[in-house]
Amino acid sequence: MNRGEIIVPQEEMNRQAEFARQVRELPHRPKSYHVVTYGCQMNAHDSEKIAGMLEEMGMAPSPQREDADFVIFNTCCVRENAERRALGNVTWLKEVRKQKPDMVIAVCGCMIQEPGMAEVILRRYRFVDLAFGTANLHKLPEMLYQTLNTGQQTVNVENRDVIAEDLPIRRLRQDAAFLTIMYGCDNFCSYCIVPYVRGRERSRDPDTILREAEGLAASGVREIMLLGQNVNSYGKGLPGDPTFAGLLKRLDGIGIPRIRFMTSHPKDLSDDLIEVMAEGRHILPQFHLPVQSGNNEILKKMNRHYSREQYLDRVSRLRSAIPGIGLSTDIIVSFPGETEAQFEDTMNLVREVRFDSAFTFIYSPRTGTKAASMDGIIPEEVSTERIQRLIALQESLQQQTLARFIGQEEEILVEGLSRRSSTAVSGKGKHAVSVTVDGNEQDIGRILKCRITNLKNNTLTGERI
């Protein structure tokens, strides 16, 4: 596909804007909406675009889903339980609608893009009015217009690898924003369904990204999170071969106080990127670097293209260039055929690296992926026992790694009131660890300087300076 085919043409975007106008004028259109989001930041950002489009169509947010005229489930299918939870909640809403017959129910996102799911929705979930995949997000106005006018189910899973620019957005937070720099993934890790449901990797034009970042800075955003399934391979297929390191350097020059990014694939983590981070003024000293396993044979079966040794080498390069850097990871336990000794390799890697946090998952077979047909499914009780051991280890180590912050100064971006006290606020420090300090609602969205004074149950507290 060439660039011209990837970017959705302006005429099509105008056509969708016209459908949005027409929906707004329908007397029987929904007046309120509620978006239910599952999964990763990418989905959270898609939900912001969905909310933006719905508001363009004249709808107002409804805090409770059962009160909304239009309810949309933005689904995830990375693991089976995410999928089961979404389908369970959609079915529950069918009952709610008995009291509210005009409610429109929509399901979108990764799960809908799974092979065979469209048929399932058409046959078994007939009460769903509208279903569409990740590639058709920008067509929401047209699809909703059709559904409202015909009263028939609209299902659209047409899968083209496109980029739709300039969609309206209703951001979740005013002080922090997501900024997608690339869509899709070409890595085909053998366990992962993402490349099948989010399509081929495609990067946004760097100047467009810069313009968006400048707009965010002008609107008072203090922190941006750059998003992509593998930001480190940003730029493939773009004229002039831009790199992620180069893009980050340009973004650093804008002056937004805090820049983060995720996710990074260890195989593509370049020395240039480490250098840009070390020299940057606004790039936060934090890195999410999923390792998945600490055993070379399993990493090979996972199609990850790096070894345990190469991973550890990247970690030590990061740590020597950016002392004290916050490190987090993703780990999958019980990949098919994983032996106790191979699992122990992962435990030992965790002991060696000492992450600030780790997202741990039990392997979940996904139809259509390579790993789904591999032998050696690990019994559930073994997987449960392994993940519990891993979590216990991580928690005990975290207590030690977080202790390095005690006595240090940190700057936190306040996200909200603390869950434990109404006279305290919490937010993320530069190293991406959460810190609680005295404060009130007026502090939300502000960057506060504090000194870390205490660590209890893996929670840091500090006092304002």
Residue 195 near which of ligand SF4, ligand SAM, none (CB within 5-8 Å, type-dependent): ligand SF4
Q: Kindly state whether residue 110 participates in binding ligand SF4, applying the rule CB under 6 A.
A: no
Cα 88 → chain centroid: 22
Scanning 104-112, 119-127, 183-191, 253-261 for contacts with ligand SF4 by CB under 6 A, the matching segment is: 183-191
Scanning 20-28, 92-100, 175-183, 187-195 for contacts with ligand SF4 by CB under 6 A, the matching segment is: 187-195
Residue 127 near which of ligand SAM, ligand SF4, none (CB within 5-8 Å, type-dependent): none
Q: How far is CA 211 from CA 44, 266, 416, 421, in A?
A: 22, 29, 29, 40
| Cβ count near 133 (within 10 Å) | 24
- Tell which one of 139, 202, 265, 430 touches ligand SF4 (CB under 6 A): 265
- Subset of 239-298 contacting ligand SAM (CB under 6 A): 263, 265, 290, 292
- Tell which one of 202, 366, 428, 430 touches ligand SAM (CB under 6 A): 366
- Tell which one of 23, 54, 68, 78 touches ligand SAM (CB under 6 A): 78
- Tell which one of 136, 187, 264, 436 touches ligand SF4 (CB under 6 A): 187
Cβ closest to ligand SAM, residue 73 vs residue 363: 363
Cβ closest to ligand SF4, residue 230 vs residue 418: 230
Q: Under DSSP, is residue 325 helix (H, G, I), strand (E, B) or coil?
A: coil
Q: Under DSSP, is residue 69 helix (H, G, I), strand (E, B) or coil?
A: coil
The β-bridge relationship of strands 104-109 and 154-156 is unpaired
Structure-token pair, residue 246: 């180069």
Q: What is the DSSP string of 77-105?
A: -SSHHHHHHHHHHHHHHHHHHTT-TT-EE
Please list the helix, strand and coil fractions of the chain in percent, rounded to the nearest 5, in that order.
40, 20, 35
- Tell which one of 61, 158, 188, 316 touches ligand SF4 (CB under 6 A): 188
Place of tokens 């390069």: 317
Q: Please state the closest distance from residue 329 (CB atom) to ligand SF4, in A.
A: 12
How far, in Å, CA of 213 to CA of 233, rounded? 20
Q: Under DSSP, is residue 166 helix (H, G, I), strand (E, B) or coil?
A: coil
Q: Kindly state whether residue 360 participates in binding ligand SF4, applying the rule CB under 6 A.
A: no
Q: Please state the closest distance from residue 98 (CB atom) to ligand SF4, in A.
A: 39
Q: Please state the closest distance from residue 330 (CB atom) to ligand SAM, in A.
A: 3
Q: Please state the closest distance from residue 86 (CB atom) to ligand SAM, in A.
A: 15
Q: x/- string (CB under 6 A) for ligand SF4, residues 192-231? A: x-xx---------------------------------xx-
Nearest CA to 110 among 142, 153, 157? 157
Q: Please state the closest distance from residue 359 (CB atom) to ligand SF4, in A.
A: 12
70 DSSP β-pair partners: 33, 104
Cβ closest to ligand SAM, residue 104 vs residue 181: 181
Q: What is the dihedral of CA 157, 158, 159, 163, to 10 degrees?
A: -100
- Tell which one of 185, 226, 371, 414 touches ligand SF4 (CB under 6 A): 185
Q: Kindly state whether residue 189 participates in binding ligand SF4, applying the rule CB under 6 A.
A: yes
How far, in Å, CA of 303 to CA of 370, rounded? 10
Q: What is the DSSP string of 131-159?
A: EE-GGGGGGHHHHHHHHHHH-S-EEE---
Cβ partners under 8 Å of residue 229, min gap 6: 42, 182, 184, 185, 187, 194, 198, 201, 263
Q: Please state the closest distance from residue 201 (CB atom) to ligand SAM, in A.
A: 11
Please report, as ranges, the residues that interact with ligand SF4 according to CB under 6 A: 185, 187-189, 192, 194-195, 229-230, 265
Please report, as ranges, the residues that interact with ligand SAM according to CB under 6 A: 40, 78-79, 191-192, 194, 229-230, 263, 265, 290, 292, 330, 332, 361, 363-364, 366
